[in-house]
Amino acid sequence: MPPQRILVTGAAGLVGAMLRTRLARPDRVLRLLDIQPPPAAEPGERVELRTAAITDPEAVQQACAGVDAVIHLAGRSREHTWEEILSTNVDGTRNVLEAARRAGVPRVILASSNHAVGFLPVAGAGDEGIPDEAPPRPDTYYGFSKAAMEALGSLYHSRFGMDVICLRIGACTPRPNDERDLSIWLSPDDAGRLFEACLTTPSPGFRVVWGVSRNTRRLLSPTGGEQIGYHPRDDAEDHAAEVVPNRPGTEQDYLGASFTTLPLGEPD
């Protein structure tokens, strides 16, 4: 059997680096693409390194050749100018989906964000948590681009039958940094478990799923994750003594917190 081959865009970024070791399997090749050259392969590591921008459709097309699944992490990860957000996050995502379609890649996992729904009131979470598929309420142009990403994923599923899972990631950092993160943290190990579930769950169709750990101060529903076989183990509460208070004056009534008051279109 040939090895499974997975293209990871944005592989040199924070989440990409976390996944590189955690998604490694003896029968799997990770094709790592980034605009910055990804770090060289370790001895025995089954990786293929590609340096290219997702705004280059030909390079993305070449990167999709012979691939079984795409994990799309690349893009601006915070607020930026409208032009840059449209080019990198919206056109870039469309390039990835279109290249995957042309190459016959059956499954694409899209890194969306809590900021696609950043204007959801935290008070409305209830005991069950905010549902995975809550309608878009972006808090920035960045959040808009994540909502657009989800809509593009839905389009490519409906038109072409591709499996597309959009992960609305909370705060994926080595440790929770501030009080807010105690509700929305996604630990590096749980990120590995989540993306592995996305790769292995049978016939997911189109889904929107929260990307969070098993946090005591739960705000977001665990249901969508459970349905794809994601069983998080980490709890931000274990780090509660180390986090800093939320910055005074930042908006905590909404899920997107400080993003809801950032100047729109100003690089953050």
Q: Which residues bind ligand 15L (CB under 6 A)?
A: 77-78, 113-115, 171
Helix, strand, coil percentages for the chain (3-state, nearest 5)? 35, 20, 45
| Secondary structure (3-state) at 112 | strand
Which residues form the catalytic set?
142
- Length of the chain counted residue by residue: 268
Q: How far is the CB of 91 from ligand 15L (least distance, A)?
A: 19
Q: With respect to ligand 15L, which residue has the nearer C-beta, 114 or 187?
A: 114
Task: Give min distance, CB of 194 to ligand 15L, in A.
Answer: 15
> Which residue, 143 or 222, is less far from ligand 15L as judged by CB?
143
Cβ of 23: how many Cβ atoms within 10 Å?
17
Q: Which two tokens stand for residue 118?
A: 């950043």
Tokens standing for 216?
A: 């005591």
Count Cα neighbours of 58 within 13 Å in the Cβ-side half-sphere. Answer: 0
In the three-class reduction of DSSP (H, G, I as helix; E, B as strand; rest coil), residue 237 is classed as helix
Minimum CB distance to ligand 15L, residue 241 (Å): 20
> Any idea what DSSP says for residue 103?
H
Tell me whether residue 114 or residue 221 sits nearer to ligand 15L (CB atom).
114
* H helix or E strand, kind and range, residue 156: helix 141-160
| Closest residue to ligand 15L in the complex (CB) | 113
Residue 34 near residue 74, CB atoms below 8 Å: yes
Query: Closer to ligand 15L at the Cβ: 5 or 225?
Result: 225
Q: How far is the CB of 139 from ligand 15L (least distance, A)?
A: 9
Please, how many CA atoms are within 13 Å of residue 39, restricted to the half-sphere of its CB?
11
Q: How far is the CB of 77 from ligand 15L (least distance, A)?
A: 4
What is d(CA 137, CA 118) in angstroms, rounded to the nearest whole number?
6
* Three-class secondary structure of residue 46 per DSSP: coil
Beta bridge partners of residue 211, listed in sequence order: 169
By C-beta, is 5 or 137 nearer to ligand 15L? Answer: 137
